[in-house]
Structure 1
Amino acid sequence: MKEMSMKQELLRQARVTGLMIRRDLEGVEESHSRVTPPTGGNHMNWVLGHLIKSYDSAVSLLGGESLWTKDAGEAYARGSSGTTAADGPSWERLLDDFEAVEKRFQASLSGIDESGLQDKAPYSPFDDPQETLGSLLGFLLLHQAYHAGQIGLLRRVAGLEGAIK
């Protein structure tokens, strides 16, 4: 069996994480997306917006065209309080934007040369001077999977049955 390249593995991780997220989002309505956990934390609307913002940043990093303006993503930045139903995009819009940005991310990643993944990353979340584009994208996908798990739990907080059994 032939070993997967780094790019193939990153694309596989993105596909699997996206599948989990889409499954967990099935049947979620706007009202479910705004339920905040009783012990604190972000609601599903914020988490999905944060995932979109993160993928969108990666699309730009890979030379693709951003889906959101910088201002549109600020409400979903780490540490932000998110939006309300009155001031944020609709749940349907977020669902559509997630589908669109996920496709843009996969297309942008597919379009780069494998050797480009060994290039020095423009930044490192952990101030690692050895950070490469590939390791940065690996961290992004870990980040996306982490928040995918939160969406699964937030389904239950909102009163819905778990989608992944």
Structure 2
Amino acid sequence: MNNALLTQFDLHQRLYNNVLDGFTDEETNQRLYGDQKINHVKYLAGHLLNSQYGLAMIAGLDPQLKWNDLFAVMGHSEAKDDIEYPDIKEIKSEWNQLYEPTRDGLKELTPEILNQVPPTPFNQVAETVGELWAFINHHTSYHIGQIGILRRAFGKPPMSFD
């Protein structure tokens, strides 16, 4: 199980960077179809970063959660308008700095750790740490896809898979 989850983790590293490629900071703060309250790119990118902190914790790291009040998981945040968000480059940089140490820790997870019950509130979405990792991978794919759709709505080319 660990190899398939790690393969997805690596894929998400590449796709996260690719899907955000070419956006200006200003664009990432814009909601398209504002009256529909569709999340803006920056919120989605930051929310994914917050989920990445969860994977870092699973991997045995103790990351400093930046901007948790803006991007918290489990329904504890939402996209906001007319507030100051961190620059998209800062969000991407934080994501990229987490990648290697998180990957190293995830690679070392034993079946015993993967079969443990995740901490509250994550036990609401998964019965084991391995299932939580799979859930976070799916969550990441889902939101990368949302950003991919927004790319097209902004008139940008499709996300590269290279």
Check whether TM > 0.5. Answer: yes
Give the whole-Å Cα distance in 2 for the aligned partners of 1:109 and 1:25.
24
Matched residues in 1 for 2:118 and 2:52: separation? 16
Code of the aligned partner of 1:22: N
Letter in 1 for 2:115: Q
Q: Is the 2:117–2:123 Cα contact (8 Å) retained in structure 1?
A: no
Aligned to 2:143: 147
Q: What is the CA distance between 1:51 and its match in structure 2? A: 0.5
> Residue in 1 aligned with 2:107?
110
Give the corresponding residue for 1:30: 25
Shift of 1:126: 6.6
Q: How many residues of Structure 1 are paired with residues of Structure 2 in the alignment?
A: 157
TM-score of the pair, normalised by structure 2: 0.83
Q: How large is the RMSD of aligned CA atoms in angstroms?
A: 2.4
Segments of 4+ in structure 1 off by > 6 A?
Answer: none
Give 1:142's aligned amino acid: H
Query: What code does the residue aligned with 1:63 have?
Result: G
Name the aligned partner's letter for residue 144 of structure 1: T
| Cross-structure match for 2:69 | 74
* C-alpha contact (below 8 Å) 1:32/1:155 kept by paired residues: no
Report the equivalent of 2:48. Answer: 51
Give a deviation string over 1:48-70, Cα, whole Å, max 9, x none: 0000111112312332021424x
26-35 vs 131-140, greater mean Cα deviation: 26-35
* Corresponding residue of 2:132: 136
Query: 1:65-104 counterparts in 2 under 5 A?
Result: 65-69=62-66, 72-77=67-72, 78-82=75-79, 87-104=84-101
CA 1:127 to 1:73, structure 2 compared with 1: closer, same or farther past 3 Å?
closer
For the structure 1 residues 124 and 80, does the alpha-carbon distance in structure 2 shift closer, same or farther, using more than 3 Å as the test? closer
* 1:125 to partner: Cα distance: 4.6
Gaps of 5+ in 1: 1-5
Contact kept? 2:58, 2:106, Cα under 8 Å: no
Matched, 1:7 2:38: no
> What is the identity percentage for the equivalent residue pairs of Structure 1 and Structure 2?
22
Unmatched 5+ stretches in structure 2: none
Q: Distance in 2 between matches of 1:104 and 1:124?
A: 24
TM-score (norm 1): 0.82
